[in-house]
Amino acid sequence: MLIFQFFVTTILLGMSGILLLNWWTFPRLRRRGNEATRQSRDLSAATSHRLVASSPRRLSVLIPARNEAAVIAETVRSLLAQDAPDLEVLILDDHSTDGTGALALAAADGDPRLRVLPGADLPADWLGKNWACRQLAQSAQGQILIFTDADVRWDPGAVDALLAEFERTQADLLTIWPTQTTVTWGERLVVPLMALVVHAYLPILFVHHSPFTIFAAANGQCIAFRRAAYDAIGGHEAVRDNVLEDVTLARLAKARQLRLRMAEGNHLIGCRMYRSWTEVRDGYAKNILKGYGSAAGLIAATLFHWIVFLGPWIGFILGAAGVNIPGWPWWPLGLALWGIALRGLTAIHSQQRPADALFLPISVVLLTRIAFQSLWWQWRYGGPLWKGRVVRKE
């Protein structure tokens, strides 16, 4: 038991150190000052929303969309309302059956900056999203390519803030962690765990400055490339059959010593990923196995989270039942509350509900359920199911 307590204490100390480091060094998107915003608006008006071939900052926002009727109109309107000059928005309608393409065109109301492309048939050796992104990149005219999802929310000034961060950091690849909107309990208990991983497991200074690909990360909800950097790593063709394409692209960029940078969306860029526990379960199950590399890795990670975040609570309960637990009650209770505090602090840093951290033990159990879903899909179908497709067939 003493070894267990020492292990958990060591892990929580390490996570606390990373979180404190990231608290002060993790960048956030910021709106430009009034003068910069005014100049951006003036330039946008001067070009009359036309693409200007000589612009050094031609920008393409690229959206793969399959059955996104519920969100696509709002996304189109918010992007076309941005102040960024010389902007084009491309949507790849990936064989939608709900009128996604027509709704996007209607929302644009004839604005020539929007183009809706019909998706070509999926080749046997490609995953759907990666194939859609490749088609978008081939059609894009931009020198900066922003790949984003149809359900990402763009507040006024968001694109300009992203470009400002891109220029400030001189990034080759800039990924944004959108501020996550969560409503149902399934969302609230699982989606914020992504922030716990990013802010308490991943030192941002190592992501930005170390040469090691293990510290590469990215979020496919919003990932921007310089065109030259995207081409240098092989674009989406290099990850054609990879369900974790965003992280893999980041690793390829770091392996080529390109400049990888990350930033928080800071409410300028946001997303509501899922709208129910079923969507949360299936969405996370789609990627979690690939994220841990293998079934053994996923099982080991699940046990790790049980030990660190549930083990102290189990020890506290056993002690209350009369089992001899060293340091009871303060030692197991202190470790349990320490884990909750870390979850709460990452919620504050990513602008989510810190009070939901109190339900961390339930979150770990739900994440275990997601892990079993992923393992079942792999065993039964050879890969996860998503939008009616087997995402990866072994």
DSSP H/E element including 261: strand 260-264
DSSP H/E element including 270: strand 269-271
Can you give the pLDDT of all 394 residues of the chain as single tens digits? 788 899 999 999 999 999 999 999 999 999 876 544 444 444 444 333 333 333 445 899 999 999 999 999 999 999 999 988 789 999 999 999 999 999 999 999 999 999 999 999 999 999 999 999 999 999 999 999 999 999 999 999 999 999 999 999 999 999 999 999 999 999 999 999 999 999 999 999 999 999 999 999 999 999 999 999 999 999 999 999 998 999 999 999 999 999 999 999 999 999 999 999 999 999 999 889 988 989 999 999 999 999 999 999 999 999 999 999 989 999 999 999 999 999 999 999 999 999 999 999 999 999 999 999 999 998 888 878 776 666 654 4
278 contacts 366 by C-beta, under 8 angstroms: no
Tokens, residue 360: 């961390």
Domains of the chain: 2-22+279-390 (no CATH), 25-275 (3.90.550.10)
Query: Cβ-count burial of 259 within 10 angstroms (0-12 exposed, 13-18 middle, 19+ buried)?
Result: middle
pTM of the model: 0.89
DSSP H/E element including 93: strand 87-93
372 contacts 298 by C-beta, under 8 angstroms: no
264 contacts 28 by C-beta, under 8 angstroms: yes
Tokens, residue 104: 């996007």
Q: Count other C-beta atoms under 10 Å from residue 13's C-beta.
A: 11
130 contacts 124 by C-beta, under 8 angstroms: no
What DSSP character marks residue 308? I
